[in-house]
Structure 1
Amino acid sequence: MALFDLLGRRWAMGVVWTLSEQGPCTFRELEAACETISPAVLNTRLKELRAAGLVVKQEDGYAVSKLGREIHTHLLPLSATARRWATWVRRNADPGEA
């Protein structure tokens, strides 16, 4: 449950996902890749993810650790399901609620 708590925090999965997909990034590169993340939130998430062993600091920036890559691998099937769910939500949205 602790892992779900960590990954459920705002932008935590996004940071792991971005570093897994793009490779090592500097703070500024990661901030740009995540687009709407604030520097304060990014700094906090990086500290938390580093403390949890999912992200490491290298000479060329931040990168996912071996454990972070393993988590990303397990999240990949959820990505396809999430896309199908998002399509379902769009099709079934109540126009009165928009």
Structure 2
Amino acid sequence: MSTPKPGAPVRGSTTGRPLMAALDLFGRRWSLRILWELRGGPLGFRPLQQQCDDMSSSVMRQRLTELLDARVVHQLPDSRYELTALGREACLSLNPLAQWSERWAAALESGATD
């Protein structure tokens, strides 16, 4: 599976609108988790894999390859992975969704409807 990129057809969009390409990239299993775990700083392959609930090595390699190709992650000379400026910006953009999800979980737990 190729890395989703704006301007090229992606899942859900034949035109490859940037938002649809981003949703395709981040909608792939484990992609957001990798991004989220790297928000605290660089990690090597094994520590990152452990932070991601010991996902399979092959899936992690595939997702890292896609995230590297999409330029939201880069590899340091010491082989650790870290977010690029675009990756950090993506994480910041997810903060409101993370906050909403906490309110959503609390509402579901309390049985609130409004």
State the partner residue of 2:22: 3
State the partner residue of 1:30: 48
Question: Which runs of structure 2 are paired with 1:39-54 in the superposition (5 Å)?
Answer: 39-54=57-72
**Which stretches in structure 1 are left out of the alignment for 5+ residues?**
93-98
Distance 2:103 2:55 in 1: 25
| TM-score computed with the length of structure 2 as normaliser | 0.73
Kindly tell me the number of residue pairs found equivalent between the two proteins: 91
State the partner residue of 1:75: 94
Distance 2:77 2:101 in 1: 34
**Which stretches in structure 2 are left out of the alignment for 5+ residues?**
1-19
| More RCO (CA 8 Å, sep 6+) | 1
| TM-score computed with the length of structure 1 as normaliser | 0.84
Distance 2:97 2:47 in 1: 25
What's the % identity of the aligned pairs?
Answer: 40
Q: Name the Cα RMSD after superposition.
A: 1.3
Flag the structure with higher helix content.
1
Q: Alignment partner of 1:56: what SS?
A: strand
